[in-house]
Structure 1
Amino acid sequence: MPLKELAERRNILHRKSGAETILKHALDDVQIGRVAMVSSFGAESVVLLHMVSQIAPDTPILFLDTEMLFPETLTYQREVAELLGLTDVRVIRPSRAKLLESDVDSILHTIDPDACCSLRKTQPLEEALAEFDGWITGRKRAHGGARAQLPLYEKQDRKIKVNPLASWDTTQIASYLDKHDLPRHPLVARGFTSIGCTPCTTKVAAGEDPRAGRWRGMEKSECGIHIVDGKVIRRENAA
């Protein structure tokens, strides 16, 4: 079955399903194939990680360490993985040879942020995902911009992406965290509502879009991992 048709059929099938049901079916869906979860271990990541730990704790979890992350994120990643009993967390890093060739001084983000994201995130993830047929993300429509119309299932390149929390809002996230007594990322209490690399992440003021602190002052709003029609999303055409 063509992947676009498969995604459309799954969207119809699960239009009224809860996140746990969508997640469980995605992990067992023979038509999709082998699936991994990609997690930033960021501000809201622990919700989906907890769901995975309750359904299949041996699910491959791909964590992109760009080598420019906040120290708090690295500590949080280790603590959450241990707390939840996740047994196959794979820390993905950029190629050492490519870093020496293209960003030896770690200043590429100041010159060409798209190239930096490609080098430190997109390329390493593509390589890590090569053995999988689909992947699970924690994206939500509440993030706004290009994510406002986010489907539960979508086709990207030759893989199926699954977004079990697409319809969740901040109230549902907070409720789940409280219900299961899950640890918050330590930077959330300091005003970071979306957490990426240190040079390209700032605090978010009250009333701002949750992702306003990512690449602040730039037209850029996505790193390139999540693509629409083959293009990295820009702020001016994100709505």
Structure 2
Amino acid sequence: MNALASKVSSAAVAASLPPADELDRSLRKASPHEVISAALKTVGRDRLALVSSFGTESAALLKVMADVDPAIPVIFLDTGWLFPETLAYRDALIEKLGLADVRSIKPAEEALSREDPDGELWYSNPDACCRIRKVEPLARALKPFSAWVNGRKRFQGGLRADIPVVEADGARLKFNPFANISREEIEAIFKLADLPSHPLVTSGFLSVGCMPCTSRTAPNEDARAGRWRGRGKTECGIHTMATS
């Protein structure tokens, strides 16, 4: 498909979707289960994806999704810099929750060869590293979908403090079913479903991303304080740039 046809197709998809603000108003006080169910009803299973890092809190959202429909596609960005424990955790949750369609997406080899041949881009330009290892692969993976689900929460603070339940993401809808949820509610989901914790939690990692840019979090720090420590960077880019 050429660039013009792609733009026309994206515009057609966007025109067929209900307005994000309208959905947000109707789902503002809905439970996570209700939000995911509404997303599924709005676009259908073949046009909906859930994006998961399989990080420290991911199992809760994946559990809710599995209760709605375990065959909803799950996109996992395998950046090449992930902890082995994260990859093992992904596999354990797939089996535990019966996830039927988890797609591990890797960066384009051409981009890595061109922009990060020595594997040191994370140090010299972390934004560029995130772009080629997360933002661009996600944009590629989301092309078949009209909407996607993610696990951001308002209690995480920063740019996430005011996220709506539903928002527009270019030509797509973006559902944030955990926007209103509390840390205690997440813990309750883990307990009730007997979900395993990420293996690195007991070592002091409260938020886990790529190995070079993730550090342990002190008891008095925000959970995401260990991400890009000392960099003045709080987001990888997949939630600050339109994916369409």
- What is the TM-score of this pair, normalised by structure 2? 0.89
Partner of 2:89: 76
State the partner residue of 2:106: 93
Cα offset, 1:207, TM superposition? 2.1
The answer as to whether partners of 2:43 and 2:147 remain within 8 angstroms in 1 is no
Matched with 2:158 is 145
Q: Shift of the alpha carbon at 1:31?
A: 9.1
Shift of 1:4: 9.8
Give runs of aligned pairs for residues 176-215 of structure 1, distance below 5 A: 176-215=189-228
Q: Is the 8 A contact 2:80 2:106 kept in 1?
A: yes
Distance 1:163 1:3, change over 3 A: farther
CA contact (8 A) 1:3 1:159 kept: no
**CA-atom RMSD in angstroms:** 1.8
Distance change in 2, residues 1:148/1:17 (3 Å): same
What secondary structure, in the 3-state scheme, does the structure 1 residue paired with 2:90 have? helix
TM-score of the two chains, using structure 1 as the length reference: 0.91
Work out the CA distance in 1 between the residues paired with 2:23 and 2:38. Answer: 10
Q: Equivalent residue for 1:175?
A: 188
Counterparts of 1:1-239 in structure 2, within 5 Å, are 6-30=19-43, 34-227=47-240
Percent identity over paired residues: 45
Q: Which amino acid aligns with 2:61?
A: L
Deviations 1:166-200 (A, max 9, x none): 11121111111001100110111111111100000
Measured in 2, the distance between the counterparts of 1:30 and 1:124 equals 22
The unaligned stretches of length 5 or more in structure 2 are 1-13
State the alpha-carbon separation in 1 of the partners of residues 113 and 168 from structure 2. Answer: 33
Compute the displacement of 1:94 (Å): 0.4
Counterpart contact for 1:4–1:155, Cα < 8 Å: no
Q: Which has the higher helix share?
A: 2
**Structure 1 outlier segments of 4+, above 4 Å:** 1-5
Structure 1: tracts of 5 or more residues without a match: 231-239
